């Protein structure tokens, strides 16, 4: 991401950190980035395993939708209640507690003997992720504003991609498919908790911790203005992620004749990986350019994905997923950058919480509704088309809105 050079003062008002301190800050930054990646990897790790669980325990798509809904609802509640806590008690305690809770969730997943255990694991995981995601994002911004903005946009996509492909590969080729991926991730969370505990506090503590627990869905007026502009493209992108995570494995098996676990994991990896690569490739682009490109690529890519399913072409589906994923990455990066550019330092965690609440609502609610419709009607084909067309409508709305010159002028410059 680039910034206009004209605003730089001739003489810095603050001292330049020593090389040793700068090196420590970089290490701490990359540690926090790895925590974000692993948290999001953990969120997508169960997706390729759902077909395995269905064979083992004989549950219906309604149960899959309910498990998915549990995670999304608990995560959203945690974001609303705990999203601002790190602004008051510090980033480090919140992140360490959440990483330990994630390790517990992985242990519950690994010991699952029935669907009830999966629900419990998803509740713990949703609480941990919802509590930590804004704190980690704000901590990275505390350490490095430029890299932190980029990392907040790229980490969700790369984390989702790595979790999906890791789980798919372990399920398909290695022993103990319903255990190994969780032990790997659980070990990572314990190591990361120890690392974060050993680092200095990156943020500042201010009074009002108890008051911050009052659920709020709010940001500063400047951040709200940026959110209104970015929302349609961000909603379309995260709805696409929900489509891939909920209906993707079943569609891959039925329409593309691929293994649901491995094929579904690879398809999600391609989509999310393309999003991450796009964030890195377009990191110097302006917010409006990112949102416009993202909306166009989402509209075109989602349409191409539906076409590929109709003609039963795995190659076309993978190519379309890459295009749609690029739209997901660009739209989310544009949204993150425009919102964070408008938010003050004291409002960063809160603004990120609002953005992630919108994102997870878009990922969770349509996916849950689609799962329920499939369970009631048995018509996966019609449901997937309806879901895809809704995503395309959101992307078209975003593209039309960005053509308004008045709205474009209101976008903050990074």
Domain ranges in the chain are 27-209+218-410
Structure tokens at 406: 């008045």
C-alpha 336/C-alpha 150 separation (Å) is 8
Q: What is the pLDDT of residues 81-104, one digit of tens each?
A: 776 777 777 788 889 999 999 999
Q: What is the pLDDT of residues 98-135, one digit of tens each?
A: 999 999 999 999 998 888 999 999 999 989 988 888 78
C-alpha 245/C-alpha 253 separation (Å) is 13
Q: What is the pLDDT of residues 15-63, one digit of tens each?
A: 445 566 677 778 888 888 888 888 877 887 787 777 778 888 887 766 7
Quick one: pLDDT at residue 47?
73
Q: What is the pLDDT of residues 292-306, one digit of tens each?
A: 999 999 999 999 999
Let me know: does 291 contact 229? Beta carbons within 8 Å.
yes
Residue 235: how many CB atoms within 10 A of its CB?
23
Tell me yes or no: is domain 27-209+218-410 CATH 1.20.1250.20.
yes
C-alpha 247/C-alpha 230 separation (Å) is 26
Q: What is the mean pLDDT of residues 161-189?
A: 76
Structure tokens at 56: 């083992």
Q: What is the pLDDT of residues 58-81, one digit of tens each?
A: 877 667 777 877 887 888 888 777
């Amino acid at each position: 991401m680039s910034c206009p050079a004209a605003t730089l003062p001739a003489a810095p008002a603050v001292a330049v950190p020593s090389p040793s301190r700068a090196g420590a800050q970089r290490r701490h930054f990359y540690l926090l980035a790895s925590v974000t990646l692993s948290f999001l990897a953990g969120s997508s790790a169960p997706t390729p395993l759902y077909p395995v669980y269905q064979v083992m325990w004989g549950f219906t798509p309604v149960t899959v939708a309910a498990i998915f809904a549990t995670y999304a609802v608990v995560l959203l509640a945690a974001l609303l209640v705990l999203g601002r806590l790190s602004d008051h008690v510090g980033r480090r305690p919140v992140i360490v507690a959440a990483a330990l809770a994630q390790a517990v969730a992985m242990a519950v997943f690994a010991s699952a003997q029935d669907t009830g255990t999966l629900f419990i694991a998803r509740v713990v995981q949703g609480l941990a992720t919802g509590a930590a995601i804004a704190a980690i994002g704000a901590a990275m911004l505390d350490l490095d504003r430029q890299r932190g903005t980029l990392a907040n946009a790229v980490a969700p996509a790369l984390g989702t991609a790595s979790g999906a492909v890791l789980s798919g590969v372990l399920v398909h080729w290695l022993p103990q498919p319903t255990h190994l991926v969780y032990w790997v991730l659980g070990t990572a969370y314990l190591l990361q908790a120890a690392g974060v505990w050993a680092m200095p506090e990156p943020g500042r503590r201010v009074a009002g911790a108890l008051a911050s627990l009052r659920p709020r869905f709010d940001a500063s007026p400047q951040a709200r203005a940026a959110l209104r502009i970015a929302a349609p493209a961000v909603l379309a992108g995260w709805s696409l992620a929900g489509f891939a995570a909920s209906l993707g494995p079943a569609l891959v098996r039925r329409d593309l004749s691929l293994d649901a676990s491995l094929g579904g994991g690879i398809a999600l990896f391609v989509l999310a990986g393309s999003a991450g690569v796009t964030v890195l490739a377009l990191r110097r682009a302006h917010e409006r350019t990112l949102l416009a490109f993202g909306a166009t690529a989402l509209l075109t890519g989602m349409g191409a994905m539906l076409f590929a399913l109709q003609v039963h072409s795995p190659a076309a589906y993978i190519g379309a997923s890459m295009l749609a994923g690029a739209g997901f990455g660009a739209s989310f990066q544009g949204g993150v950058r425009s919102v964070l550019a408008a938010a003050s330092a004291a409002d960063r965690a809160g603004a990120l919480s609002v953005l992630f609440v919108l994102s997870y609502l878009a990922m969770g609610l349509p996916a849950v509704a689609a799962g329920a419709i499939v369970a009631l009607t048995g018509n996966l084909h019609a449901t997937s088309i309806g879901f895809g067309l809704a995503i395309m409508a959101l992307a078209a709305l975003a593209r039309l809105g960005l053509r308004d010159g008045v709205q474009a002028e209101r976008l903050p410059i990074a």
